[in-house]
Structure 1
Amino acid sequence: MTTPHTAPAGGTTPTRALVVSSAALFTDMLVHGLAVPVLPLLPSVVEVGPEATGILFSSYAAAMIIATLFAGRIVDRYGPRTPLLIGLVGLAAATLLFATGGPYWLLLVARLAQGIAGGMSWVAALSLIAATTPMEKRGQSMGIALSTITLGVLIGPPLAGFLVEHFGTASPFLFAAAVALADGVLRIVLVKDSPRVTDDTAGPLAVLKVPGSFSIVLAVAVGAAVLSGIEPVLPVHLGASSLTIGLLFGLAALASIIANPIVGRLVSTASPRLLVGAGVVAVTAALVVTGFATELWQTCIGMILLGASSALLLAPATTLISEQGYKSTPPTLGGSFALYNLAYAAGLAGGPLLTGISTGQWGFTSAMVITAAMLAVIGGAALARLPQAARQAE
């Protein structure tokens, strides 16, 4: 009999699990990023207005949250391989539907399919790591896999802008379909069996019950909402080309990539409340600057602040949520990262919905101010009971 982290001959090793999981998360967020500079500018989307555009963008995360609940049950019953393959089929279908360019209802179906695929893939990816990797190395492996999310977000928008400029609006999604195919080959070839988790059975609810976890959830949600919130409204507001829009969002993601290791080092010495508080201030400043910007360079400053704020909020939260998992009964890492993913998805859903409705009712500048105020309140609430890092509390 094999242990949860010892693969049988020809089975799934920890290295294979990490490669497949990282590729699955990267591909999902790459497709998400490819859609950013393209979907808001499609004629079928422009016609329906900012409110419906916000719904289109938030529907991905809403479907992801629902799929996550079912994915957990499927993983428990059949192991991670089945939802990985379900996610692959859903992602392939979504990319091909996006390539049609409309009508709006068909793009909404594609977005929902993408969200279902994401929910299945995210849960299965983390479960695969948990089932094959020893507990002492599990947190590091999950952290590496989750870091590929930012890589997908960084590459997606500028790549989509380049493809649209040279090959048309369908090209980013046809490219995404090819990437999904390559990702599918990895899932099929490297995951031969379907290992189960036997030493990490607690779910996200167990971690949420630990004092301070809800504050971390709020910080993660704000970190996700701040960038996703401007995705459906900024392209139309600027009226710029897809390449320019892609580069702007790539600039924000690049700022986050640069800031993440810096903030990561500070987590071990600075108070998480100080870092998250700085992130909340940066969120407010970024949205206000973007809302009142009249020149492209001013928008660039706003996007850089957005990327930095995301790092200030999410880097401490990632460390804290894993420590909360060790405090839960029973201890769990899988449950803590599942809670992180749910919080992240909630932010992805709430941000576009808030900005889309606000822009439709009161215009872009007012929407940015309203969003900044609401996220500042939520972020401030997160600071109230945010736990200290364990090494600081000792």
Structure 2
Amino acid sequence: MSSSEGRAEALADTTIRLVYWTILLVGVSYGLAISLIAVFLEGRGFDKDTIGDLAIFFAGGIVSFAIPSGWAIRRFGPKKVLVAGLVGYALAVGLFPFAGPYAALATLRFFDGAFSVAVWVSSETVLLSRAPREDKAFFMSLYAIALAIGYVVGPIASRGVVAVATKSTSFYVAGALALCTALVVAARMRVGSADGGEEVTLGDKAQPTTPLTTGQIFWRIKMSCLATFSYGYFQASVVLFLPLYLKGQGLTEGQTIIVPAFFAAGMLLLANFVARWGDRFGHLFVMRALGVIGTVTIVCFLFVKSAPVVYMTGFVAGASLASLSPVSLALLGIAVPERQLSQAGGLYNAAYALGMLVGPPIAGRLFKNVSGFAMLIHFAVLWTGFVALSILFRRDDPRR
């Protein structure tokens, strides 16, 4: 069977399609809630610093439950964990408007992250198990695109909900959407356990008799983990501080607000093409190239002053750095035995959340106590380090 025939057969898999629809609807649910959290809490009298600190609890939930999610998938199977994650997330977001004290809000955001990572790890496990070995980046790029589209549609839908109801209603709709998605998954998804149920399609039939230890899995996927850690570190930081830096360079607040849209557009338009290059030429090789391009674009932010050039730079940054995710997941998918993909996915998502946790405090202190120039340079150093290590560990890609 040719690569194109194998890809077409996998795309016809109803379970793969269901995962894509699930993650799209989850993205819409995220967008419905996230777009209003800051405004909703500000209306309740919380200051901006306090609101920003809630992101720490969200990331903390991801870090705390990423690896246990992998264990749960091996024990109970990806379908049960996915349904549980969707139901848990629905409860966390639906109850958010009822939470009064800050401790209650922080607790809900923590479990928001915890149940979200269960959804991600279980979805990624199913896709990586079923996607053909030679097309894993292609299939993971569609997953990333579906989630990103949801993030775009969600805030637009939220504006419509608020126009006819209240801000609280948007959280209820987000929870209801996630709950309905859980019911569909429970009724329609047909997969076995991550340990090799009879309904799971495994691309690599040669499974080792002795499972890898957690340390051995991490060592095999260290470059994927480093890529997602670096991206989580960078993404969480630039969302907060790049607009402030650009305002200091002469851009208006209105101009800085739409920079993330160009970042997202770069990923949406080019992630699939980049993924195909990864499947063809080697995942780690393409990840290295993306890291180089991303590093150059970060340095460019130091010198660009006009809004159109800033938008173009943001587009290239999104096309390169944001497109790393599906390629790094594909590398993970061929680096470990498929029966242990859930464990690898847990480590991968924990690395991403760890980057989200440590990036903003470090970047913020550099920005405040040194300069915006120093902050951007330290991002460039981070990605330069990734590129250097990708050269050192170039043999980590089984395809090269």
Q: Classify the TM-score, shorter chain.
A: 0.7 to 0.9
Matched letter for residue 265 of structure 2:
L
Give the stretch that moved more between structures: 149-158 or 104-113: 149-158
The match for 2:268 among 257, 260, 268 is 257
Aligned to 2:227: 219
**Contact between 2:63 and 2:353, CA under 8 Å: does it hold in 1?**
yes
Q: Which of 192, 206, 210 is the aligned partner of 2:216?
A: 206
* Native 8 Å contact 1:27 1:180 kept in 2: yes
Structure 2 gap segments, 5+ residues each: 1-10, 197-204, 248-253
Distance 1:177 1:357 in 2: 36
Paired letter, 1:378: L
Assess, with a 3 A threshold, how the Cα gap between structure 1 residues 130 and 327 changes in structure 2: closer, same or farther: closer
Deviates more, 1:320-329 or 1:67-76: 320-329
Query: Which piece of structure 1 moves more, 307-316 or 263-272?
Result: 263-272
| Deviations 1:156-177 (CA, angstroms, capped at 9, x unpaired) | 3444455446644324323312
Q: How does 1:233-248 map to 2 (within 5 A)?
A: none
Aligned twin of 2:177: 179
Identity of aligned residues (%): 19
More displaced 10-residue stretch of structure 1: 85-94 or 339-348: 339-348
Relative to structure 1, the CA distance from residue 183 to residue 324 in structure 2 (aligned partners, 3 Å threshold; closer, same or farther) is closer
AA aligned opposite 2:55: F
**1:283 paired residue number:** 298
3-state DSSP of counterpart to 2:193: coil
1:195 Cα offset (Å): 3.2
CA contact (8 A) 2:158 2:170 kept: yes
Partner of 1:348: 356
Structure 1 range deviating more: 41-50 or 327-336: 327-336
Name the aligned partner's letter for residue 73 of structure 2: V
Tell me, in whole angstroms, the C-alpha distance in 2 between the residues paired with 1:337 and 1:46. 39
CA displacement at 1:70 relative to structure 2: 1.4
Deviation track 1:289-342 (CA, whole Å, cap 9, x = no partner) reads: 8xx98xxx83x8656644532331243564355346545579966565554433
* TM-score using structure 1 length: 0.73
Report the counterpart of residue 319 of structure 2 in structure 1: 311
CA distance change for structure 1 residues 389 and 332 in 2, over 3 Å: closer, same or farther?
A: farther
- The question of 1:382 aligning with 2:397 is answered no
State the partner residue of 1:5: none
- What is the rounded CA distance, in whole Å, between the counterparts of 2:261 and 2:213 in structure 1? 34
Name the CA distance, whole Å, in 2 between partners of 1:303 and 1:103: 40
Report the counterpart of residue 3 of structure 1 in structure 2: none
The root-mean-square deviation of aligned C-alpha atoms, in Å, is 4.3
**SS of 2:292's equivalent?**
helix
| 2:4 counterpart residue number | none
Matched, 1:43 2:51: no
How many aligned positions are there? Answer: 365
- TM-score, normalised to structure 2, is 0.72
- Cα distance, 1:386 vs. partner? 0.8
1-side partners of 2:109 and 2:70: how far apart? 21
Equivalent residue for 2:19, pick from 18, 21, 38: 21
Which whole-Å CA distance do the structure 1 matches of 2:125 and 2:286 have between them?
31
Mapped to 2, the partners of 1:172 and 1:301 lie a distance apart of 35
Specify the SS of the correspondent of 1:47.
coil
Alpha-carbon spacing, 1:332–1:152, altered in 2? closer, same or farther (3 Å): same
Instruction: Tell me the SS of whatever aligns to 2:113.
Output: helix
